[in-house]
Amino acid sequence: MQEAMINRAKQLLADGTVNRVIGWKRGEFVYDVTPAIFETAEELDTEFVYDDFTAANVSKYLVKECKKEGKILAFLKPCDTYSFNQLTKEHRVVRDNVYIIGIPGGPKLDAEKIKAKGITGILGAKNDNGTLVIETLYGEEKMPYYEALSTKCESCKSKKHVVYDELIGEDGDVLDSDRFDMVEKLENMSAQERYDFWREQLSKCIRCNACRNVCPACTCEKCVFDNPDSGVENKAPADSFEENMFHIIRAFHVAGRCTDCGECSRVCPQNIPLHLLNRKFIKDINSLYGNYQAGEDTTSRAPLNDYKTDDCEASIVHERGVE
């Protein structure tokens, strides 16, 4: 896969279709794979990486990149194409300045989950029929493959690319996965249990803003949380209110635009399941205003930019069962 991607990128650089490539390169460790820009064939040969640890969504980088001179080549996984489409719809990226190659996503691994099993010195990992065989400095280790999957890949909404110029590998199907399971489980808890669950999770927040910075839907140039008058600019939450406020507002600002790419949870250094907040909004929108998948197309109106005269009243929330 990696080989085919590098070769195609080199061709496109050579014939002048694009003048740079956005892909991924390794950091200090084998599982540290971060987005990077490549400008020459040599850089691609030596540094370009695409493997099971390559989970980062590069769509958001294109907001800045597509404003520069010349075309850029981007490798997008199916879930990343939804983010890209959503950005196109909001006029945040210029479609013509990006050459998109769709690549198969495939479930990604989370190194933190492997480390949590006490496995260190990771040098590589391979799926062998449901068992993950991990090569380490201290020999070979094994663990169940499913338990090492990145949270965002535990359930998959789609393996189909919604936008691309060409594909490497095959296009998959739109899946109807069980992604709302955890949201439903929480909804069925009592208010006290839900409150305790979220206090436990949100009190871990250090307000590093990683969830905001990585989110392909959060592209405002001036963010409400950077406002010096807000009282919550650039500082750790002082109490439970500030934790709640940040997370409610962050999720609300992307409601109806969140494609459920799961990057927020992936980058959270405290492992807060932030995607559950986004999924709660998606689930509510689907059930109250009809099914809607952000990023699926570039023409439909986002649910919060739209209305129907016979929408349900807000009191529907109060009429719901569990107390």
Maximum alpha-carbon separation in the chain? 65
Q: How far is CA 35 from the centre of its chain?
A: 13
Measured from the CB atom, is 65 or 243 closer to other proteins?
Answer: 243
CB of 318 to other proteins, least distance (A): 5
Contact status: 218 vs other proteins (CB under 8 A): no
User: What gap in Å lies between CA 162 and CA 160, rounded to an integer?
Assistant: 6
Contact status: 180 vs other proteins (CB under 8 A): no
Q: Which residues pair with 33 in a beta bridge?
A: 26
Among 41, 63, 168, 224, interactor with other proteins by CB under 8 A: 224
Measured from the CB atom, is 127 or 209 closer to other proteins?
Answer: 209
Q: Which residues pair with 109 in a beta bridge?
A: 149
Q: Are 73 and 12 in contact (CB under 8 A)?
A: yes
Among 255, 258, 274, 294, interactor with other proteins by CB under 8 A: 255
DSSP string of 17-31, one letter each residue: S-SEEEEEEE-SSTT
Measured from the CB atom, is 128 or 184 closer to other proteins?
Answer: 184
Among 50, 145, 164, 281, interactor with other proteins by CB under 8 A: 281
Q: What x-and-dash track marks residues 297-316 binding other proteins by CB under 8 A?
A: ------xx-xxxx-xxxxxx
Among 239, 291, 299, 321, interactor with other proteins by CB under 8 A: 239
Residue count, binding to other proteins (CB under 8 A): 45
Kindly state the DSSP code that residue 313 receives in the 8-state scheme: P
CB of 185 to other proteins, least distance (A): 12
Contact status: 196 vs other proteins (CB under 8 A): yes
Measured from the CB atom, is 64 or 199 closer to other proteins?
Answer: 199
Strands 72-76, 33-38: pairing kind:
unpaired
**H-state helical runs in the chain:** 2-14, 41-47, 61-65, 78-89, 111-115, 151-154, 181-187, 191-202, 210-214, 240-253, 263-267, 275-289, 316-319
Measured from the CB atom, is 270 or 287 closer to other proteins?
Answer: 287
Distances in Å between the Cα of 277 and the Cα atoms of 242, 254, 256 are: 16, 10, 12
Q: Are 58 and 80 in contact (CB under 8 A)?
A: yes
Q: Are 141 and 119 in contact (CB under 8 A)?
A: yes
Contact status: 181 vs other proteins (CB under 8 A): no
CB of 314 to other proteins, least distance (A): 4
Q: Are 52 and 108 in contact (CB under 8 A)?
A: yes
Contact status: 222 vs other proteins (CB under 8 A): no
Contact status: 285 vs other proteins (CB under 8 A): yes
Contact status: 249 vs other proteins (CB under 8 A): yes
Among 30, 168, 245, 267, interactor with other proteins by CB under 8 A: 245
Contact status: 280 vs other proteins (CB under 8 A): yes
CB of 205 to other proteins, least distance (A): 13
Measured from the CB atom, is 138 or 241 closer to other proteins?
Answer: 241
Of the candidates 39, 48, 55, 75, the one whose C-alpha atom is nearest the C-alpha of residue 169 is: 75
CB of 275 to other proteins, least distance (A): 13
List CB contacts of 42: < 8 A, sequence separation 6 or more.
none
CB of 186 to other proteins, least distance (A): 7
Q: Are 55 and 137 in contact (CB under 8 A)?
A: no
User: What gap in Å lies between CA 242 and CA 237, rounded to an integer?
Assistant: 5
Binding residues (CB under 8 A) for other proteins: these are 183, 186-187, 191-198, 224, 238-239, 241-242, 244-245, 248-249, 251-252, 255, 277, 280-281, 284-285, 288-289, 303-304, 306-309, 311-318, 320
